[in-house]
Chains A and B, each alone.
Chain A
Amino acid sequence: MLSGWYFFKPDEARALEAIVDRLIPPDDLSIGGKDAGCAAFIDRQMAGSYGDSSRLYTKGPFMHGLPTQGYQGDATPAMRYRAGLAAIDAYLKKAMSNRGFAQLTAAEQDLFLKDLEAAKVDLGKIDGKALFNLVLQNTMEGFFADPIYGGNRDMASWKMIGFPGARYDYRDHVAKHNQPYPHGPISIGGSPDWSRKG
């Protein structure tokens, strides 16, 4: 597991870990988003060129656009997480007897996330549904990306669905129509089996 947070403050990290663990709950199919490292993944993304939108066109004027014109806000993903997690915290502390997201029961957490997804939570200036979509998108990126990014520990998601990862050569299987692929996944960083002794 990666340790230490690059972008999130301890309270933010705790809330985000709790969120990703409901989006991808631990069950008999796989470990949960928290253990897989999805929050740590998002943390690293926020600290880089994705988080600060440095590759995007960020010049003004900023105007409200049509849906076909895409995101027109001036906030970067990092700014949206910072403000969004704070708004969620303030909202919940008020509505849920001073408890933040991490302090809710799993059932309460799910209910809140469903409401957020359905645009039923009023977070003031923040568009709760757009925030939910951003977090969901980044969580899935982490869970399904190569484990080198920290969010797909032990290739948990790849094992779950049967994606062989970075193998790069399927010539021996192309003609084997409808037959299961016989090998497990490999990451860019190799396979955990390779470093296990004995």
Chain B
Amino acid sequence: MARKLPRKDVVIVGLGWTGAILAHELTESGLDVVAIERGPWRDTATDFNIGYVSDELRYAVRRDLFLQPAQETLTMRNTTSQTALPMRDFGSFLPGTGVGGAGVHWNGHTWRFYPSDFNLKSHLTERYGAARLADLQIQDWGVSYDEMESAYDRFEYLCGISGKAGNIGNKIQPGGNPFEGPRKRDYPLPPMEMTYAPTLFAEAARSLGLHPFPTPSANLSKAYVNPLGIAMGQCTMCGFCERFGCANYSKSSAQTTVLPVLMRKSNFEARCNSEVLHVNLDATGKMARGVTYVDGNGEEWEQPADMVLLCAYGLHNARLMMLSKIGKIYDPQTGEGTVGRNYAYQTNAGVQLFFDDKNFNPFVAAGALGQTVDDFNGDTFDHAALDFVGGAGINCIPTNGRPIGFRPTPPGTPRWGSAWKKATRDNYLKAFGFSSQGSSYAARGNYLDLDPTYKDRFGRPLMRMTFDFPDNDIRMSHWVSDRMEEIAKALKPRQYVQARRNKSWNSVPYQSTHNTGGAIMGADPKTSAVNKFLQSWDVPNVFVIGASAFPQNAGKNPTGTVGALAFWAADAIRNQYLRNPGPLVQA
């Protein structure tokens, strides 16, 4: 039996990116907040220490900071006709654990979505007709870019994002992304100093009439003091960024932007190594009473609270809702049910270039240091004559030269022996790649539910992921790969090698930890799990914050939008819900 603890105003499940922001915002309103985090406490000096942080085997290969599948995993299959089997090791995506969540070891590409991404269904229907979307389950978000603008701005200033605005108040800014939605002001910091490969990439793209610009990065181009008064350092381009914590306080994360202030507040408490099992509902099933969790000693506790915020990462948000019976689980046959609906991912492809006469020093790199071409992303280009919707950012962002993972050799090179060694030595400094990060549009058969067979360490069903790339997205990716090939040719390498995206989605090679959907936002409770303020339609004192809210994914990394949604939801709670607790939108 769980032992009952004293009541709190708010319990937050997960102390990662969104949990930290919500905790800070709601404690500012004077609420008594506890965050329950299943992983360990982590901080820069103790856990991302410069003396040992640059350890590729430990962090990048054995993935020391990540969620271990023994603690929680998922089952996966590509279609409903297959039997899902557990991901015994994570591969394609790598969920985080511990304080800071996946924000500890992300790269830091920090994007805003386009205005047309938010009203995607209306926008595309109007421009291309409904028939174009027939195979997809695209939806509007229920919130507009204009409503989100100031929330984006707050996240970017919290983080110290380094970039160049492309559109300030509808005035196009030279050197930035000319396609972006209007912003009120520029980024807090200028772009990072460019390395060689992205510089050449940008020159080649410009020669083709494209519009490259510096990728907005959460690796800081300069020292910075954020609006909470927290100081951060300049990124040293150490090349141990993605999958690593930053030893320099240069990568935006809960640790470097929120926690130093949050942890000093008397109305906040963080409880680590404590895994929330489920949200407890009252007898009507329409109000949450708090959560039950298991602490590091295996003891069960009940934490009563007036509000529950799920900030557990999109996938885990969806599973916690299923296990807690909040809302109805989606059924792909009938199309009914909302929890698990519209799971989407990211449709990526790449190209590798080999040169004879250039030295790229691949180890001089940071997680988000590079150049992006967005001429073929979202709906920045006319799809009228094309056979797909969506698009991809083309990114030249060489993140590292760590040699267990980065040893480019041309196709046909043996994998071992003296010939392998020579090719490895000859190409290590002379190759680079760039990639397309494509939209992933929802389809009826791509969804999350509970697995009928496999259980977690507490004997509860694992979540089951059923996903393959929709034909639309494959066509999109191939078309963008053709555009990438044009850029590759303009770079005049000795040789280039394309890695095109084809079916089926493979759970083994890493692709991206950009899992979206499962508890999507929208205007209609029949087709969305949460309203436009991320409040559960079914249990209004539960808010569900994360990329779980995306109705489909854009051709951009999610966290700029996830962070903005965190501020957006916090505002709704502080300014509306607290005054009048109850549904903020009438169903």
**A67 x B506 contact (CB < 8 A):** yes
Binds A, one of B52-60, B133-141, B553-561: B52-60
Contacts of A179 in B (CB 8 A): 359, 361
Contact with A along B165-208 (1 / 0, CB 8 A): 00000000000000000000000000001111001000000000
Whole-angstrom distance between the Cβ of A33 and the nearest chain B Cβ: 9
Given contacts A59-B454, A61-B453, A178-B196, contact A27 B418 (CB under 8 A): yes
* B507 proximity list for chain A (CB < 8 A): 68-70
Say yes or no: is A7 at the interface (Cβ < 8 Å to chain B).
no
Any chain B CB within 8 A of the CB of A194?
A: no
| Closest residue on chain B to residue A151 by CB atoms | B57
Q: Which of A61, A162, A188 contacts B51 (CB 8 A)?
A: A188
B69 at the interface (CB under 8 A from A): yes
Binds A, one of B80-88, B339-347, B471-479, B488-496: B80-88
B462 CB to closest chain A CB, in angstroms? 8
B463 to chain A, nearest CB (A): 13
Q: Which residues of B contact A136 (CB under 8 A)?
A: 415-416
Residue A146 at the B interface, CB < 8 A? yes
User: Would you call A66 and B196 a contact (CB within 8 A)?
Assistant: no
Question: How far, in whole Å, are A66 and B416 apart by their CA atoms in the complex?
Answer: 28
A168, A175, A180 pick with most chain B CB within 10 angstroms: A168
Whether A71 lies near B429 (C-beta < 8 A) is: no
- As a 0/1 sequence over residues 20 to 49 of chain A, the CB contacts with chain B under 8 angstroms (1 = contact) are 001111010110000000000000000001
The reply to whether B77 and A69 form a contact with Cβ atoms under 8 Å apart is yes
> Is A69 in contact with B236, judged by CB distance below 8 angstroms?
no
B residues within 8 A CB of A63? 83, 85
| B234 within 8 A of partner (CB) | yes
A24 to B420 alpha-carbon distance, docked (Å): 9
Q: Please tell me which one of the listed residues A29, A70, A178, A181 contacts residue B425 in the complex, with CB atoms under 8 A apart.
A: A29
Question: Which of B88, B415, B454 has most A Cβ within 10 Å?
Answer: B88
Q: Does A140 contact B (CB under 8 A)?
A: yes
Q: From residue 47 to 87 of chain A, which have CB atoms closer than 8 A to chain B?
A: 49-50, 53-59, 61, 63, 65-72
- Given A27-B421, A50-B62, A117-B415, verify A56-B88 contact (CB < 8 Å): yes
Cβ contact within 8 Å between A55 and B240: no
* Segment among B118-126, B400-408, B439-447, B566-574 that sits at the interface with chain A: B400-408
Q: Report how many residues on chain B are interfacial, defined by Cβ distance under 8 Å.
A: 67
Query: Please, could you name 19 A-B residue pairs with CB atoms under 8 Å apart, sorted by A?
Result: A23-B416, A23-B417, A24-B421, A59-B86, A66-B78, A67-B506, A70-B91, A136-B416, A145-B57, A146-B55, A163-B363, A166-B54, A167-B238, A168-B236, A169-B238, A170-B364, A178-B358, A178-B359, A181-B364
The 5 A-B pairs at the shortest CB distance, nearest first, are namely A145-B57, A177-B196, A57-B69, A169-B236, A166-B54
CA distance A125 to B55 in the complex (A): 36
Number of chain A interface residues as a range = 35 or more
CA distance A23 to B234 in the complex (A): 41
A residues near B (Cβ < 8 Å) are 22-25, 27, 29-30, 49-50, 53-59, 61, 63, 65-72, 110, 113, 117, 136, 139-141, 144-146, 148-149, 157-158, 160-171, 173-175, 177-181, 188
Q: Which of B56, B70, B359, B421 contacts A146 (CB 8 A)?
A: B56
| CA distance in complex: A163, B68 (Å) | 30
Known contacts A56-B68, A57-B89, A68-B76; 17 further A-B pairs (Cβ under 8 A) = A25-B418, A57-B73, A63-B83, A63-B85, A69-B76, A70-B91, A136-B416, A144-B56, A145-B56, A161-B429, A162-B429, A163-B403, A168-B240, A170-B236, A173-B364, A188-B51, A188-B54
Q: Is B505 an interface residue when CB atoms closer than 8 A count as contact? A: yes
Distance (Å) between the CB of B89 and the closest chain A CB?
A: 5
Q: Residue on B with the closest CB to A141?
A: B404
Closest A residue to B78 by beta carbon equals A68
Per the bound structure, the CA–CA distance linking A158 and B59 in Å amounts to 18
Question: Which residues of the partner chain A approach B407 to less than 8 Å between Cβ atoms?
Answer: 140, 144, 161
CA A57 – CA B199 in complex, angstroms? 43
Contact across chains for B403 and A174 when beta carbons are under 8 A apart: no
Is B578 in contact with chain A by the CB < 8 A criterion? no
Whether A175 pairs with B404 at a CB distance below 8 angstroms is no
Q: Does B142 contact A (CB under 8 A)?
A: no
Q: Which residue of A lies closest to B61 (CB)?
A: A141
Contact of A29 among B237, B403, B421 (CB under 8 A): B421
Q: How far is the CA of A177 from the CA of B203 in the complex (A)?
A: 14
Q: A29-B422, A71-B89, A178-B196 are in contact. Are A158 and B61 (CB under 8 A)?
A: no
* Neighbouring A residues of B516 by C-beta, 8 Å: none
Residue of B nearest to A135 (CB): B416
A157 touches B78 (CB 8 A): no
Asked if residues B404 and A144 are in contact (CB atoms below 8 Å), the reply is: yes
The answer to whether B132 has its CB under 8 Å from any CB of chain A is no
Across the two chains, which residue of chain A brings its CB closest to B403? A144
Q: Of B89, B248, B404, B422, which one neighbours A140 at CB under 8 angstroms?
A: B404
Is residue B40 contacting chain A, with contact meaning CB distance below 8 A? no
Asked if A162 meets B428 with Cβ closer than 8 Å, knowing A68-B508, A69-B507, A170-B238, the reply is: yes
B88-A58 in contact (CB<8A): yes
B239 in contact (CB, < 8 A): yes
Nearest CB in chain B to that of A20: its residue: B416
Q: Which of B113-156 contact A (CB under 8 A)?
A: none
CB neighbours of B505 from chain A (8 A): 68
CA distance A59 to B415 in the complex (A): 33
Residues of A near B56 (CB, < 8 A) are 144-146
Chain A nearest CB, measured from B458 CB (Å) = 12
Residue of B nearest to A142 (CB): B57
Residues of chain A contacted by B69 (CB below 8 angstroms): 55-57
Question: Which of these, B50, B88, B195, contacts A70 with CB under 8 Å?
Answer: B88
Q: Are A171 and B236 in contact (CB under 8 A)?
A: yes
Residue among A71, A161, A164 with the highest chain B CB neighbour number at 10 A: A161
When the two chains form their complex, are residues B363 and A188 in contact, meaning their CB atoms are under 8 A apart?
Answer: no
Q: Is the C-beta of B7 less than 8 angstroms from some C-beta in chain A?
A: no
Report the Cα distance A8→B87, complex, angstroms. 29
Contact A70 to B428, CB < 8 A, known contacts A58-B88, A146-B57, A188-B55: no
When chains A and B are docked, how far (Å) is the Cα of A182 from the Cα of B42? 35
Known contacts A161-B424, A169-B238: A59-B455 contact under CB 8 Å: yes
Distance of B219 from chain A, by nearest CB (Å)? 12
Contacts of B238 in A (CB 8 A): 167-170
Contacts of A70 in B (CB 8 A): 87-89, 91, 507-508
Say yes or no: B88 contacts A57, CB within 8 Å: yes
Say if the beta carbon of B504 comes within 8 Å of chain A: yes
Q: Residue among A54, A57, A70, A169 with the most chain B CB within 10 A? A: A57
- Enumerate chain A residues within 8 angstroms of B195, measured Cβ to Cβ: 174, 177
From B70, B415, B416, A22 is in contact (CB under 8 Å) with B416
A54 close to B70 (CB less than 8 A): yes
Complex CA gap A173/B196 in Å reads: 11
Q: Is the C-beta of B247 less than 8 angstroms from some C-beta in chain A?
A: yes
Which residues from 61 to 119 on chain B have a C-beta closer than 8 Å to any C-beta of chain A?
61-62, 68-70, 73, 76-78, 82-83, 85-89, 91
